[in-house]
Structure formats: structure tokens, C-alpha cells
């Protein structure tokens, strides 16, 4: 079964540095998402991406965050100047064509640790 892959599985970065989290969604999917889960807390929506543009974003997704689908296969999340509170699991998800009942397929996440 096709799956969403995320790299790296664990990223350790100094505060203030830029970090790029990478995702390869399922190949025929059209909708792409990033979520994060701070340790012990709920899964939080960050951003959704469709047709090469952001379709929706949360309050968390401020100017330090950006997303890109540079080559038609990868989907990246960039955090420009990391803060301690950015430490979390970041999940990428993708979804095929259809309505909101179509499930999102999640990767196994990247654990981001900011020192």
C-alpha cells in the first residue's frame, strides 16, 4: 500500500537556525497537510496545500513557517528561525480527490528538537 514518507525521523537544531522538514506524499494525492503534536498535547493543524498554494492555515502558521512543493513529489515545511517552543512531532499528510470523508494518510512524523 502506498504511504507517506517523512525525512528525517529526528532533527536536532539550535535555536534560531532554519530547518526544513521533508515529506513525500502519496503520488496521486492532491491535498497536502502539515500537523504538529507537542509532547503530551493534541495534534494541531498547521496548513493545507492544494493546487500549488496554501488553501488554509492556522494561527500557529505564522511568518516563520512556509511550505513548498518544489518538484511535484516533495512537500516541505520550512521553519525560518526556530524557537524552543517549535520542538514537537511534525506530521505530513496527504489526501486524494473527494470530499471531507476521504481520510488523510499520515507519515510517521519528524521529531524536531530545538536546543
Applying CB under 8 A, does 45 fall inside the site for another protein? Answer: yes
Applying CB under 8 A, does 105 fall inside the site for another protein? Answer: yes
Q: Give dist(CA 109, CA 93) in Å, integer.
A: 9
Chosen residue from 26, 88, 93, 112 binding another protein by CB under 8 A: 93
DSSP 34-98: EEEE-TTS-EEEEEEEETTEEEEE-TT--TTEEEE--SSS-EEEEESS--GGG-EEEEEEEE-SS
Interaction pattern, residues 50-89, with another protein; x per rule: CB under 8 A: x----xx-x-------------------------------
Chosen residue from 43, 78, 81, 83 binding another protein by CB under 8 A: 43
Q: Give dist(CA 49, CA 69) in Å, integer.
A: 9
Please identify, among the stretches 11-19, 70-78, 79-87, 102-110, the one whose residues bind another protein according to the rule CB under 8 A. 102-110
Applying CB under 8 A, does 91 fall inside the site for another protein? Answer: yes
Q: Which is nearer to another protein, 82 or 94 (CB)?
A: 94
Q: Give dist(CA 75, CA 99) in Å, integer.
A: 22
Question: Which are the contacts of 85, defined by CB distance < 8 A and separation ≥ 6?
Answer: 38, 114
Q: Which residues bind another protein (CB under 8 A)?
A: 4, 30-31, 33, 35, 41-45, 48, 50, 55-56, 58, 91, 93, 95, 97-109
Amino acid at each position: 500500500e502506498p504511504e507517506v514518507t517523512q525525512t528525517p525521523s529526528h532533527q536536532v537544531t539550535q535555536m534560531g537556525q532554519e530547518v526544513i522538514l521533508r515529506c513525500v506524499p502519496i503520488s496521486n494525492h492532491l491535498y497536502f497537510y502539515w500537523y504538529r503534536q507537542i509532547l503530551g498535547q493534541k495534534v494541531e493543524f498547521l496548513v493545507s496545500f492544494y493546487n500549488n498554494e496554501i488553501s488554509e492555515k492556522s494561527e500557529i502558521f505564522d511568518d516563520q513557517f512556509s511550505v513548498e512543493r518544489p518538484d511535484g513529489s516533495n512537500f516541505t515545511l520550512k521553519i525560518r528561525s526556530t524557537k524552543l517552543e517549535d520542538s514537537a512531532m511534525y506530521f505530513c499528510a496527504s489526501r486524494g480527490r473527494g470530499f471531507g470523508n476521504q481520510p488523510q494518510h499520515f507519515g510517521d512524523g519528524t521529531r524536531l528538537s530545538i536546543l
